[in-house]
Amino acid sequence: MNIRKNPAKVFQFLKKQTTFLIIIILLLCIIVGVINKRFLSVQNFTNLFKQISVTGICSIAMALVLISGGFDLSIGSLLSLVACVISTLINLGFPEIVAIIIGILGGGMCGALNGIIIAKSRCAPVIITLGTMGVFKGAALLIAGGNIINFKVPVSILTRTEIIGAPTIVFVFLIVVIIIYLFLKSTVFGKRIYAIGGNEEAAYLAGVNIVISKTIIYMIAGFIISLASVSLIMRLGSASAVMGDSYTLNAVASAVIGGIAISGGKGTIGGCFLGIMLLGIISNGMNILGVTAYLQEIILGSIVVIAAVMSQIGNRTQKN
């Protein structure tokens, strides 16, 4: 590309969300790496991917829902519920793989419940999932009895935390990213998701069954959250009704920063992945630099607000 002959193309290239995120990620790595060389070590990047894996899986589920024009506040509570169900079943003597399958299927059904209610009632997804968030949280509290659920018997699958030297949850995260990326890009249903998010009425007139489609979308999100739940159990070795509380905000933040439009119909899983990486690097860098957890929460919340405002401004600019 000839910069002098094509300044407009260069400007458009730099305006792309993914390009901007890549530049910011590289700059942050260089700056934090210069301040503290430990940041650029292989061990730290392994820890970084381990830290972002559960949040990353939740973010992919949130991205899928947001692209369809929906929203899901129940992600964190569903994660906790599935974790409590799996741990309790294992303690009751169920084989690990059976307990995991039951937990994942249950998570998918909970997601489908969200989708059916939202599609049938035509109520705002925020309100419906706010209600189901309370339902899932209450169910998790009942199962756990308000306590942390520790395993009463030795477990093998859940404690096998490494594959070829890397944490298993990292592979689960990357596989989820690749599958959902291909699903949205290469399948007819993936294109329907963008169509519903872009203009639900037009999608309906084009022959898309909105009720069935939204049910499937939220069900897939439920399955993905269940995988995140299994991954978190693998990481912590226990379960509780509050273990997923922080993941909803982080999932929304990663998706929005990655260019997923809150209004729906816009964004890519690749961009979401970069958003996950950016937040992970910021969090990891602040930990290495000794920034307190309270200040980190303030910074994360501020980033979400800024990203949402920038996304809205970008949408308005494109429409004009």
Q: Are 109 and 222 in contact (CB under 8 A)?
A: yes
- For residue 219, give Cα distances in angstroms to 101, 194, 257: 15, 17, 24
Matching CATH number, 49-309, of 2.30.110, 1.20.5, 1.10.1760, 1.10.3470: 1.10.3470
Question: Cα Rg for the chain, rounded, in angstroms?
Answer: 20
| pLDDT tens-digit map of 291-319 | 787 787 787 777 777 766 766 565 555 55
Check residue 16 and give its pLDDT: 66
Write down the mean pLDDT value for the chain: 84
Work out the percent of the chain whose per-residue pLDDT is above 70: 86
| pLDDT tens-digit map of 123-146 | 899 999 999 999 999 999 999 888
| pLDDT tens-digit map of 189-246 | 999 999 999 888 898 888 889 999 999 999 999 999 999 999 888 878 788 888 988 8
Q: Are 73 and 130 in contact (CB under 8 A)?
A: yes
Sorted by sequence, the CB contacts under 8 Å of residue 64 that are 6+ apart come out as 180, 184, 193, 217, 220, 221, 224
Between CA 231 and CA 57, with CA 233 as vertex, the angle to 5 degrees is 25
**How far apart are alpha carbons 112 and 215 in whole angstroms?**
5
- Domain extents for the chain? 49-309
| Mean pLDDT, range 91-109, rounded to an integer | 92
The upper half-sphere exposure of residue 69, i.e. CA atoms within 13 Å in the direction of its Cβ, equals 20
